[in-house]
Amino acid sequence: MRKIHLLVLLILIGSASYGQDLGLILKGSTSGVGADLAYRINPKWLVKVGAERFNYEFLTNLRSADLNVDINSTIITGSYSLLADYQIYKKLYISGGVLINNFNTKVKGNLQSDYKFGDLVVSKEKVGTIEWDVKPESTIAPYLGLGIGNNINSKKKVNLSVELGGIFQGAPKFQIQSNGIFESNSDANFNQAGSLEESFSKFQIYPVLKINLGIKLSQSKNVKEKSKNLPKTN
């Protein structure tokens, strides 16, 4: 890992004399809200290091004549990323790299009153609780996307781009924790988690729709010197 970090550092130092711009990219996507620190090596290549996150929690109550259940759900998306953009054309680019995927979804059901089935009454403690925990197959996942725009370039201070891509995170993995009447759901012999994984095995790519707002923070000396040497017009 140290050798990789050293190699990246040497590449950045070695390309500094050819570099054009350093900037900040504010982004909002289906993976969350965050920012990238971006460095444009040359007109074709842009390197980005960033993070994004989204956390949503909601509580739903299912109530009927015989049942009163609270469903507590938490959805967490986001990632830490190391990406590179390659400018195919003036306003078209490919983005790719690797990221640490923080996707995690939890759903918990909790009975709020005793369960009645005809003349039979079962206390809520005996009924128990059940919780589903869903995570991607791999925490480290590749990303590939196609964007319209040209982030952090020498011509504009602010740039806007739109990107469509996917996180290749593999099939989701399920963990089930349960007790009481629901205890069999987490039994390895019953293997409900395996059945759910088989049902969702085709969902291996997380779709990403992203809007980027690039803000140029600084410009390389080479570009500044070239702009100074341009003839002035009255």
94-126 pLDDT tens trace: 999 999 999 988 888 776 666 666 666 666 666
155-192 pLDDT tens trace: 788 989 999 999 999 888 888 887 777 777 777 777 88
Contact 152, 216 (CB under 8 A): yes
The residue-averaged pLDDT of 119-140 equals 78
d(CA 23, CA 27): 13
Q: Which CATH number fits domain 19-219: 2.40.160.170, 3.40.50.620, 1.10.357.10, 2.60.40.420?
A: 2.40.160.170
Domain locations in the chain? 19-219
d(CA 72, CA 164): 31
Q: Strand locations in the chain, DSSP E?
A: 21-29, 32-40, 45-63, 68-89, 92-101, 104-111, 115-117, 120-122, 129-136, 140-148, 158-168, 172-178, 205-219
Helix (H, G, I), strand (E, B) or coil at 138: coil
For the cut 70, the answer to whether the pLDDT of residue 210 exceeds it is yes
d(CA 133, CA 74): 10
For the cut 70, the answer to whether the pLDDT of residue 79 exceeds it is yes
pLDDT band at 16 (very low <50, low <70, confident <90, very high): very low
For the cut 80, the answer to whether the pLDDT of residue 65 exceeds it is no
Q: What are phi and psi for residue 220, nearest 5 degrees? A: -65, 155
For the cut 90, the answer to whether the pLDDT of residue 87 exceeds it is yes
Distance of CA 210 to the CA centre of its chain: 10
